[in-house]
């Protein structure tokens, strides 16, 4: 028997694929900076400021390790029921997965393969393009002239038609520009288009809190009822402080429900994650209170940054995209030396900009105080 040579040539796709840019962990950063781990504050991940929701802490303490020995409920009955109650979507049209990320892969692989076209308005969340490329599809970007300029949905529709796209991504509210499409704009892209359109709405809860609207006030379900090619992607990662638990869900139109149900991984969400998700969903008031706090803090942070002469884009999310007058990367590095991690961009459309997650009041104060020191903001 001889050893197989050149195993890489046996892979479906030739050549390397650019992976999602991995961020260093708190422990890595602390070691690199010579700081204690607790000095690190992540303003770069868009996670929920203020720590876990009280119900989540309680549920995790109560979780029985004996349950880990067995597999969980492959149908996710309890989780689907809770998500159905929270969103108004029928349970059989809710496809749970291990975070929105897993469902980006599911939606991509259900729709495209080698040589198909995926339209991605940019700048946006990088996983849409990463997954499209992994599927062997061609990514067609729809750029904005400036991150502060609204994306014209007519451009997206035109390119999708011209290029015969099978899949179109819309991120609303969008990471990193923090703005959102109105339902009629989403309809203008999807209505009558021969492509699946997925709206990533993982920041929806913050948009609702920003506008003083009730929970699900910005639900796209009514739109999905009349657009059978529209998929809606949600997650508990940001809105319910469960980024580490990995719980996302895709809401699909009736005609696609069985197909997506058949294709999803049977048990992507582990038992402890399901338990904390149920607890988070059970205490909707605590989550909404937190969203309102985040919105208030966001306005305070935005006012502080504007006070330093920075350009701050209006935000419907739990982060702000900002442009300091000086060198953004140098500012990010100066903050990093103090343990404050913000997202900077090496170049391209976002060169010169920083993305800053709104965190707990004391942490936001730390950031503003650091920027007030001449050495940090210069
Ligand atoms: C727009 C968007 N979609 C999806 C995700 C990933 O969500 P999850 O943690 O549920 O996989 C993120 C995380 O930053 C995001 O910004």
Angle made by CA atoms 99, 355, 232, in degrees to the nearest 5: 35
35-55 pLDDT, tens digit each: 999 999 999 999 999 999 999
Distance, CA of 158 to chain centre: 26
159 & 278 share domain: yes
> For residue 13, is it within any domain?
no
pLDDT at 17: 78
> For residue 5, is it within any domain?
no
User: Given a cut of 60, is residue 282 above it in pLDDT?
Assistant: yes
72 & 109 share domain: yes
Residue 373 Cα to ligand 1 midpoint, Å, equals: 33
Residue 3 Cα to ligand 1 midpoint, Å, equals: 41
Residue 148 Cα to ligand 1 midpoint, Å, equals: 21
**367 band by pLDDT with thresholds 50, 70 and 90:** very high
pLDDT at 64: 96
78 & 153 share domain: yes
- Mean pLDDT across the chain, nearest whole number? 95
> For residue 8, is it within any domain?
no
From 175, 202, 203, 243, give the residue whose CB has the most ligand 1 atoms within 8 Å, as the site to mutate.
202
| Inter-residue contact 123 to 117 (CB < 8 Å) | no
The mean pLDDT of 246-268, rounded to a whole number, is: 97
203 & 254 share domain: yes
pLDDT at 43: 98
| Inter-residue contact 231 to 170 (CB < 8 Å) | no
**2 band by pLDDT with thresholds 50, 70 and 90:** low
Q: Which of 224, 250, 282 is the last residue of a domain?
A: 282
pLDDT at 130: 94
Angle made by CA atoms 110, 198, 46, in degrees to the nearest 5: 115
48 & 84 share domain: no
Q: What is the CATH number of the domain that holds 220?
A: 3.40.640.10
Residue nearest (by alpha carbon) to ligand 1 atom 4: 100
Q: Which candidate, 123, 121, 161, 162, places its Cα nearest to that of 139?
A: 121
Residue nearest (by alpha carbon) to ligand 1 atom 7: 100
106 & 218 share domain: yes
Instruction: Please state the atom number of ligand 1 nearest to the C-alpha of residue 174.
Output: 1
180 & 309 share domain: no
> For residue 1, is it within any domain?
no
| Inter-residue contact 277 to 245 (CB < 8 Å) | yes
75 & 173 share domain: yes
156 & 200 share domain: yes
3-state SS record for the chain: CCCCCCHHHHCCCCCCCCCCCCCCCHHHHHHHHCCCHHHCEECCCCCCCCCCCHHHHHHHHHCCHHHHHCCCCCCCHHHHHHHHHHHCCCHHHEEEECHHHHHHHHHHHHHCCCCCEEEEEECCCCHHHHHHHHCCCEEEEEECCCCCCCCCHHHHHHHHHHCCCCEEEEECCCCCCCCCCCHHHHHHHHCCCCCEEEEECCCHHHHHHHCCCCCCCCCCHHHHHHCCCEEEEEECCCCCCCCCCCCEEEECCHHHHHHHHHHCCCCCCCHHHHHHHHHHHHCHHHHHHHHHHHHHHHHHHHHHHHHCCCEECCCCCCEEEEECCCCHHHHHHHHHHCCEECEECCCHHHCCCEEEECCCHHHHHHHHHHHHCHHHHC
> For residue 48, is it within any domain?
yes
The mean pLDDT of 354-370, rounded to a whole number, is: 98
pTM for this entry: 0.96
Checking DSSP bridges between strand 248-251 and strand 94-97, what pairing results, if any?
A: antiparallel
Q: Which residues line ligand 1 (CB under 6 A)?
A: 46, 99-101, 125, 171, 175, 200, 202, 235, 237, 243, 248
> For residue 11, is it within any domain?
no
Instruction: Please state the atom number of ligand 1 nearest to the C-alpha of residue 46.
Output: 14
pLDDT at 375: 60
**347 band by pLDDT with thresholds 50, 70 and 90:** confident
Residue 101 Cα to ligand 1 midpoint, Å, equals: 6
Instruction: Please state the atom number of ligand 1 nearest to the C-alpha of residue 248.
Output: 10
Residue nearest (by alpha carbon) to ligand 1 atom 5: 100
Total domains in the chain come to: 2
**73 band by pLDDT with thresholds 50, 70 and 90:** very high
106-119 pLDDT, tens digit each: 999 999 999 999 99
Q: How far apart are CA 61 and CA 98, in angstroms?
A: 22
Residue 310 Cα to ligand 1 midpoint, Å, equals: 26
Residue 255 Cα to ligand 1 midpoint, Å, equals: 26
> For residue 7, is it within any domain?
no
Q: Which of 215, 247, 282 is the last residue of a domain?
A: 282
Q: Which domain, by its residues, includes 117? A: 54-282
The mean pLDDT of 253-277, rounded to a whole number, is: 97
121-160 pLDDT, tens digit each: 999 999 999 999 999 999 999 999 999 999 999 999 999 9
> For residue 3, is it within any domain?
no
264 & 329 share domain: no
184 & 277 share domain: yes
103 & 231 share domain: yes
**18 band by pLDDT with thresholds 50, 70 and 90:** confident
């Amino acid at each position: 028997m001889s050893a197989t040579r050149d195993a890489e040539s046996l892979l479906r796709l030739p050549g390397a694929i650019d992976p999602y840019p991995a961020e260093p962990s708190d422990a890595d950063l602390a070691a690199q900076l010579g700081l204690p781990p607790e000095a690190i504050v992540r303003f770069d991940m868009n996670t929920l400021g203020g720590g876990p929701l009280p119900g989540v802490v309680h549920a995790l303490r109560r979780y029985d390790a004996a349950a880990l020995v067995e597999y969980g409920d492959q149908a996710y009955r309890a989780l689907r029921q809770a998500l159905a109650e929270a969103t108004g979507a029928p349970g059989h049209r809710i496809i749970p997965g291990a975070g929105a990320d897993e469902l980006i892969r599911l939606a991509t692989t259900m729709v495209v393969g080698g040589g198909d076209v995926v339209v991605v308005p940019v700048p946006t969340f990088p996983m849409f393009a990463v997954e499209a490329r992994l599927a062997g599809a061609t990514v067609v970007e729809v750029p904005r002239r400036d991150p502060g300029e609204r994306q014209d949905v007519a451009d997206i529709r035109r390119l999708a038609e011209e290029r015969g796209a099978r899949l179109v991504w819309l991120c609303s509210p969008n990471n990193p520009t923090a703005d959102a499409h109105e339902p009629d704009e989403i309809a203008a892209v999807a209505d009558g288009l021969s492509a699946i359109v997925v709206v990533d709405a993982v920041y929806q809860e913050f948009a609702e809190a920003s506008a003083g609207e009730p929970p699900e006030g910005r639900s796209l379900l009514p739109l999905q009822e009349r657009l059978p090619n529209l998929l809606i992607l949600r997650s508990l990662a940001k809105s319910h402080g469960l980024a580490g638990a990995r719980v996302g869900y895709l809401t699909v139109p009736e005609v696609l429900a069985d197909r997506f149900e058949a294709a999803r991984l049977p048990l992507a969400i582990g038992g402890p994650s399901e338990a904390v998700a149920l607890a988070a969903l059970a205490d909707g008031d605590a989550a909404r209170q937190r969203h309102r706090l985040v919105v208030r803090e966001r306005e305070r942070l935005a006012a502080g940054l504007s006070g330093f002469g920075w350009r701050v884009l209006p935000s419907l999310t739990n982060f702000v995209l900002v442009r300091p007058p000086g060198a953004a990367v140098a500012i990010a590095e100066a903050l990093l030396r103090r343990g404050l991690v913000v997202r900077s961009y090496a170049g391209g459309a976002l060169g010169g900009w920083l993305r800053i997650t709104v965190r707990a009041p004391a942490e936001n104060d730390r950031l503003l105080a650091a920027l007030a020191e001449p050495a940090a903001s210069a």
